[in-house]
Amino acid sequence: MSEKIIDGKAIAAEIKNELKNKISNLNKRAPGLAVILVGDDPASHYYVSNKEKSCAEVGIVSFKTILAANCSKEELISIINKYNQDPNVDGILLQLPLPAALKNSSQEIIDHILANKDVDGLTTINLGKLVVGSKDAIEPCTPRGCMELLKRSNVNCSGKQAIVLGRSTLVGKPISLLLNAANATVTMAHSKTQNLEALLAQADIIVAAIGQAEFIKANAIKVGAVIIDVGINAIEIDGKRTLVGDVEFTKAFEKASLITPVPGGVGPMTVAMLLANTLELYEKHI
């Protein structure tokens, strides 16, 4: 693989190995992760089965509840409470996005997860800890995965101009906070941002998390930029379903100093960080 490519699959495999070794040396119960999935979105089902498989690979016990798309908010909260009380469960993950009927209540529902079981770091309490820079904060999995990719690729963020495209609670906001904590100068861009091209042209580090296929064109980026592409977009090429990122990869590759592919970049890291966060919470419980 080219030296320019940040191989998320390989780095995630390395992290999983490290976790497997640590977990095999534990002498108490195994760490436990509970995943709650609502509805029948095929991509969410695929992600959840991947997470279960990865838990088994490293020695984490996984628990799973699947609820119908039309389940009530109360039913979902009662499952969260069940796992909150289960001493064998260290982390609780609510697979997002929730179906349309519950989507607007996502944060309210997530906030029922106990802060010390909030494996994706998305409760209001945990996000607040991230804002104040508490060492106790659990870093949300995808943003933590992006930072780990930068770290393991020896990218020093300090003093660099970073731009994050996207301001969601799941990705854009927390990654902006983590880059800021790593002393980058961060611009958080969104759909109302003006003069995006001028901002992109200055950026040493670009994190794209908007969910728009190949939106960022190579001519907009600076030579030598480091690109972390979080986006996952399914498009058809020659009648075949293909996954692409938010960045026009082939051409951006020529200008970037480092770039993540899609698939095989940030995606595998999200899962690896979920496992790492489960172990981190386990250590707080034992």
Shortest Cβ distance from residue 37 to ligand NDP (Å)? 15
Q: Which of 51, 117, 160, 173 is catalytic?
A: 51
Could you tell me where the beta strands, DSSP code E, fall in 149-194?
A: 161-165, 185-189
Would you tell me how many other CB atoms lie within 10 Å of the CB of residue 90? 28
What distance in Å separates the CA atoms of residue 190 and residue 87, rounded to the nearest whole number? 41
Shortest Cβ distance from residue 262 to ligand NDP (Å)? 8
Could you tell me where the beta strands, DSSP code E, fall in the chain?
A: 32-38, 61-67, 91-94, 161-165, 185-189, 205-208, 226-229, 233-237, 240-244, 258-259
Respond yes or no: is residue 103 known to be catalytic.
no
Shortest Cβ distance from residue 24 to ligand NDP (Å)? 26
- The reply on whether position 190 binds ligand NDP by CB under 6 A is yes
SS3 content of the chain, % helix, strand, coil (to 5): 45, 20, 35
- The reply on whether position 232 binds ligand NDP by CB under 6 A is yes
- The reply on whether position 121 binds ligand NDP by CB under 6 A is no
Shortest Cβ distance from residue 270 to ligand NDP (Å)? 3
Considering only 39, 172, 174, 261, the residue that binds ligand NDP (CB under 6 A) is 172
Q: Contacts with ligand NDP in 8-67 (CB under 6 A)?
A: none
Q: Nearest to residue 119, comparing CAs of 151, 89, 78?
A: 89
- The reply on whether position 164 binds ligand NDP by CB under 6 A is no
What distance in Å separates the CA atoms of residue 221 and residue 270, rounded to the nearest whole number? 25
Respond yes or no: is residue 95 known to be catalytic.
yes
Q: Which residues bind ligand NDP (CB under 6 A)?
A: 142, 165-168, 170-172, 189-193, 209-212, 215, 230-233, 266-267, 270
